[in-house]
Structure 1
Amino acid sequence: MTTSSPTGTVPATAGRRRGRAPTLLLNAQYLPSSRDWRTAEGRADSPFRLDTFVREARQAEAAGFDALFQADFSGVNRAGLRSGPPLTAFEPFQAAAVIASATTRIAVMPTVSTLHTHPFAFARALASLDRISAGRAWVNVVSSFRPGTAIGVRRQVPRAQHHAQTEEFIQVARALWASWPPGANTPDPATDRFVREDLITDVDHHGEFYEQSGPIDMAPYSAAFPFTLQATSSLAGLRLAARTADGVFAGTPTLGAAKQLRRILGEEARRAGRPADSVALLPGCYLRITETREEAERLSRERRRSVRAPGGQHVLGQLRARFPELRLEGVSPADRLPSDVISKDPDEVFATLGSRYLPAWDLARDPGRTVADFAAEAVALSEHATFTGTPEQIGDELRRWYDDGGVDGFQTILGNDFDALCARVVPRFRGADARAREETRDKAP
């Protein structure tokens, strides 16, 4: 088994330290991207056919995934469209409603942009989805980062105010959600009321970014606001999530980096007045499923050779381009890695450079390697963790990350062999829960 590693209201599935099962999110693009679109089989799983995602959701539900995650990127990426399936072929809330009606347990998680959606429109769409799904609506909240996202929209929020605007957006949406409590929907024949309109309250919000007086006009199904995921790579973003979210999606390609980010997230949750395990760390991962261990090792060797092939100076140049803040002045590929190439304090690294430098910090903890060796490993890292191996190897390694305290679960983003993921990887990962319970029961007096 090889990997890229050198070493609100929280839903029932989130929170490792509360003894819960790990949370598993499936990116909706996994199935259509896992098969070659040039083949008949690949075209059968076209991202332009909604039944592709319905079939994927049903299979993921049976396997034990907690939610089907739907990303959203407004704007047209022409180069991306030439090379593979589009990331969005359906509006996420509409697709989620259809998928929810075709499933019974799995949550549906569309994405909303806080910069270009009003919280009232968002809250009523989410409340409708929550009712359609009978309480299985989750949501991914983003502030959007592409210039093309605001097509046709003149109103802009300065980047320095994105977090403040997002926090107020969530505050207003939660207030709207609470403005129509479930108790208002119980008919009262004695007073000739179908809806207890006296229980519906005005929001009366007057903030820096939003004015919202009245209540929501669609009754949510659930009393609690849905599970909220936020993506972040900065300390400011992590603090925002610690105050407002239930889960964090971040790029953590090594276990050591994940452990540090999980620890920092817990500390920020406590500072926000919440339990340390209130916000789940759910990093992304890519899967390269093989039939044999030998094939996995061969793929890993080929990857290492491809990175090193151009030579040490080339790899060192790639390292400087990818991690420009590393202290690499005057070094050559054959030199020993400088002890001060990056701060030894992970908190300082994250606060000043963000989460994308934590894997470099993790790799730099081995002082015996050369600059070329360090550069080759760092450059080979993807933004997210990459797991290569048989389904059983991958399932065990995912579980190791969870058991070692690095994560509260994963979002499987892209990979191959969707059938093996559902039939063999997830049960292996989930099966560890059953084995642990059996071992605890056996040891009990």
Structure 2
Amino acid sequence: MSTAGITVPGAEPRVPVSRPSFWRAPISARTWGETMHLTLNFFVGLLGFIYVTVFIVLGIGLTPLFLMGLPLIAGIVVSCRGWGSMERARARLLMDEVVRKPAKFRQKTPGFTGWVKSGCADGTGWRGALYLFLMLPWGIFTFTMAITLWSATLVTLTYPFTQPLFRLADQPGAQLSGDGPKAPGDDFYLTGPLWVTATVLVGVVLLFLTPQLIRGLAAVDRAMVRGLLGPAFLSKQVEELTVSRAASVDTAASDMRRIERDLHDGAQARLVSLAMDLGLAKEKMDSDPESAQRMVVDAHNEVKLALRELRDLARGIHPAVLTDRGLDAALSAVAAKCTVPVAVTVDLPRRPSAPVEQVAYYTVSELLTNVSKHSGADSASVTVRADGDRIVAVVADNGRGGANPAHGTGIAGLMERVRGVDGTLKVDSPAGRGTTVTLTLPY
């Protein structure tokens, strides 16, 4: 099972758009869906432009009469949300472009006046109105380009079959220059085997070139839908920060529970046992000094074990080697304990912030633990490098693959930890071909 493309946090969930090969593009469903979308742009733009322009201009003209002008503008702006919903549905149906819904319209103050104020200040509605306004000139252009390109392709490809029809107009073929048969001069017609063949070759070129031009025009359409009809940038940022904060709180609470559990089941239990042994030794100090001495020796050994457990617990909270020597030394120490040979490469021009460094360390450590326990690999690698203002860490192995966060492999928990520092975690784990996990964190 492949889990490629699992990322955290997802800025915008989008359905991957299949890209047909160059040679299959003329017959692919994607090409014709995009063609239909570009053709319909003109009709959507015409209706939308009239709707927005006429009523908003009318509202502005009636603004002195408050009870008619501003409410009309507010109603038009809010109704543009409905147009946006239809356009998102059209983009999803014809171009496989899935865009999240913007935040719902909220009336900030009660009453009719509050609704009018909220409607006139609705940023999502105004962006929808701008989309409809721009769609008319853009729709004219895309309609013209789509119809012209496919018409030219069809005409040139079928020219050997349509050439005889020109004889009905007393012409040997399609005329490229001159004044026609009534005013002969420097007339040039596409006739003869050479020019007919050349025309067909032009049609073949257009057959494969047109889908690429259609794809480029559709890319502009996609950008308009995402930018004007999707959530506003700030609202997306607020949503992601809210999710990130919740993930940080959950991760901190989970770590606290783990530390409490380790202390309760480990060092605390040993110290309680130690106190009881020392109490018994104290009671036997006078009556049975040899037995008391043996109990003190056993208690001394228990103290050593408790200290070791506390030291391991402290190292688990924040290892000293990470603080003193950075990621390179810390990850090398973790790799040395892995049951699978691990090659570690760390190339960072400077140390990242402490929280990011700690998240990188624990994430890579847990991934190497997964490699040891679940992968069945005989080799693995860890590569940490800088990419602009971000850190990219890649943990790869040649094991059995098939890692899936939904099946309790521990990756889901790592995703929560990474989410807390605005990072992403991508898992590529096809069955039988190893696992590659890419961690991206801000510096």
Q: TM-score, normalised by structure 2?
A: 0.19
Determine which structure has the larger helix proportion and give its number.
2
Higher relative contact order (CA 8 A, sep 6+): 1
TM-score (norm 1): 0.19
